[in-house]
Structure 1
C-alpha cells in the first residue's frame, strides 16, 4: 500500500455528489490555453518514444500528443464516453470513476507511459491511483502529470483548492514519493512573463506545472 499523503479533510470536495453525475454531459472544449497545450505537447515529444504504448488517464476528446509521433496502443480513460469517442488518438477507451474505484482494469506492465493532463486535482485517493499507474507501467516506464491554475473548484479536493501553484506541485511530488515503485520525480514550473499593462487588462497566459517520474528498472 502507498503511504498516505492526504487527510480525510483534505480529500473533501465542495460538491460531494457522485462524479458521474457532474461529468454526464460532454464538454468538448479546451480547458487550458494554446500556450499551455503547446508546452505540454513538447514535453510529451521529449519524454515519449516511437512505438510506446500509452495510457491517457482522466482523458477527454484531446490528448495533446504530438501528431508526428508514431505511438503503439493509446488507451484512454475518462468520465464521459462521448468525449473519449471523439478522441482520434485513442485506440481503446474505458469509463471509470477513480474516486469510487481506484483499481484499473488493465494488465500489469502493459504500458510504457502514462499521462494525466489537467485532472489530478480531482483525485480523492491519489496515492492509490498513482500506485495503480505504477503497476500497469513497464520497468522504466514514465508517468507525466501536468496542470495549470484552472479547475472545476466544486470538484477539486480541499488540499488543492487551498494551495498555491508551488504547493500543488509539491502535492503531486508527494503522490509520486508515496509509491515506492517510482524513482525521484522531476518537477517543472513555467510562469510566463506578463507585462504590467496586460495584467490590468486580464488574459494572462496559463502557468505550466508538471511532474514526471519513472518506475524502477
Structure 2
C-alpha cells in the first residue's frame, strides 16, 4: 500500500482499521463506524448497526456463510504469521447482507456516555503492538505536512498511535470523553459525540483522505480471523469501497498482543 500513497490523496476516505485483542473494555467498533461513514458521507445502503458485536455471530447466518466460505482453510490456519493477509482474498460474499438484528445485541445496552464519563488515560494494547501499529501508519500515511491532506481518527482518545511528530493541517478526532480528546496532541480539532444515538457525522462529504479506527475484539463467540472477515464484510456491504484487504502486523505472535489491519479505499466514483 505504501507505493499507492498518491491514490490515498486523490481518492478520499481510505480507511485503515486496526483490530487487537482485549476482552475487558467497552469501545465503539469499526463495525459501527464503517457503515455510518458509508451511510452519512457517501449516501450508501442504510444498514442499522450497534457498537459492539457480542452475541449471535457464529450461531446464525454468519456461521452459515463461514462454513461455506472458501477462506475457511485460511481462517483455520490464521495463527500462522501472515495467514491473515489472505483471508479477504477471493471471498464469495453472499448476495444478501448476512447479519441479523440479534447479531448486534450487547451485554450492556446503556448509553456509552455513562461508561466514558470519566477519562481513562491508559492504553489497551502492549508496547510491541503499539509500535507495530505506529510503524504501519508511518508506512502508509501521506507524508507529514502534505498540502490539503486531512485525517479523521474515529473513536479517538488521548493517544492515536500516529508516528511521532506527525502533522497535517487537519487531523480531526471523534470520541466520547472531552478530557481525553483535549490531551491528544496530534489532533487539530475534536468532536464529542455518541454515534449510537446520533450516527450522522458532523463533516462535509469527502472531507478526509484517511480515516483510522480501532476495533476491540470483544466479540466473544468468534476468533480474531473471523473478526477480520466481519470487518471485511462491512466494507463489502456498505458499498462504494474497493475490495477490502487484511494485513497481519502482529509483532511477536504468541508472545504479545496480536494486531491486524483491515483497509479499503473509497472508489473514485462513490
TM-score normalised according to structure 2 size: 0.59
- Aligned partner of 1:176 in structure 2 is 235
Counterparts of residues 35-74 of structure 1 (less than 5 Å): 35-50=128-143, 51=146, 52-74=149-171
Q: Of residues 74, 80, 98 in structure 1, which corresponds to 2:195?
A: 98
2:244 is equivalent to residue 185 of structure 1: yes
Say yes or no: does 1:164 pair with 2:164: no
Residues 3-82 of structure 1: pairs in structure 2 closer than 5 A: 4-50=97-143, 51=146, 52-82=149-179
How far 1:70 moved relative to its partner? 3.4
> What pairs with 1:89-128 in structure 2 (closer than 5 Å)?
89-117=186-214, 120-121=215-216
Measured after TM superposition, the shift of residue 112 of structure 1 is 0.6
Which structure would you say has the larger Rg?
Answer: 2
Q: Which runs of 5+ in 1 are unaligned?
A: 122-148, 152-159, 195-203
Q: Would you identify which runs of 4 or more consecutive aligned residues in structure 1 move more than 6 Å?
A: none
Alignment coverage as a number of residue pairs: 170
Q: Which protein has the bigger strand share?
A: 1
Q: List runs of 5+ in structure 2 lacking aligned partners.
A: 1-44, 48-96
Tell me how far 1:71 sits from its aligned partner: 2.1
Which string of whole-angstrom CA distances, capped at 9 and with x for unpartnered residues, describes residues 154-191 of structure 1? xxxxxx22110001111011111112211011102245
The question of whether the paired residues in 2 share the 8 Å contact of 1:79 and 1:97 is answered with yes
C-alpha separation in 2, matches of 1:114 and 1:175: 15
Superposed CA RMSD: 1.7
CA contact (8 A) 1:49 1:71 kept: no
The TM-score normalised by the length of structure 1 is: 0.73
Distance change >3 Å, CA 107–CA 166, structure 1 → 2: same
Deviations 1:67-115 (A, max 9, x none): 2433221000001111001101100001111122211010111111000
Q: Which has the higher contact order (CA 8 A, sep 6+)?
A: 2
Q: Is the 8 A contact 1:61 1:87 kept in 2?
A: yes
